[in-house]
Amino acid sequence: MYTEKVMDHFTNPRNVGEIENANGVGEVGNAKCGDIMRIYLDVEGDVIKDVKFKTFGCGAAVATSSMVTEMVKGKTLDEALEISNAAVAEALGGLPPAKMHCSNLAADALHAAIKDYHEKQEKKE
C-alpha cells in the first residue's frame, strides 16, 4: 500500500520538533481525517536555515511532513513556495489515492509558515 520511502519517513521522520522563536509558523488541519500539521521555519536572509514539524495524524501525514522539511532546507523562500502538493507525493514515490489529502496538508503548512514569516517581517518595517 505504501512505498518504501513513505514507510522510511514514517518510521524515521526527519526534522521533528519545534524551533523556539521561529521566524515563521504554519498550522493546517483537516477536520475530515483529524490530521494536524505545524511547521516551524528559521529563516536567515531569504534562505530556510532550519525547519521542523509536529504532526498529529496518520502515517502518510507524518511522512509528508518529514519529506517537505527535507525538500525545503537550504532553499530560498521563493523556491520553497514552488513546492506543490503533487511534488511532495512524488518525492515519496506516490501515495494511495485515499491518502493524497495528506500531501496537500504538508505543502499547505509550509506555505502558511512562509506567509507567517512575511507578515512578521512586514510588522518589523
Per the structure, the complete domain to which residue 80 belongs is given by 4-123
Do residues 50 and 70 touch, judged by C-beta distance below 8 A? no
Strands (E), the chain: 24-30, 35-44, 47-56
Q: For residue 101, what pLDDT is reported?
A: 73
What's the total number of domains in the chain? 1
**Residues classed as catalytic:** 33, 102
Q: Is the pLDDT of residue 32 over 90?
A: no
* Residue type at position 63: A
Grid cell 512562509 in the structure block, residue: 114
Nearest 5°: the CA angle 42, 55, 121 is 25
Q: For residue 103, what pLDDT is reported?
A: 67
Q: For residue 102, what pLDDT is reported?
A: 65
* Cut 0.95: pTM above it: no
The enclosing domain of 76 has a CATH number of 3.90.1010.10
Separation CA 33–CA 104 (nearest Å): 13
Q: For residue 37, what pLDDT is reported?
A: 94
Q: For residue 123, what pLDDT is reported?
A: 87
Q: How far is CA 116 from CA 31, 37, 42, 43, 119, in A?
A: 22, 15, 12, 12, 5
Residue with more model confidence, 21 or 102: 21
Residue with more model confidence, 43 or 34: 43
Separation CA 125–CA 112 (nearest Å): 20
Cell numbers describing residue 33: 481525517
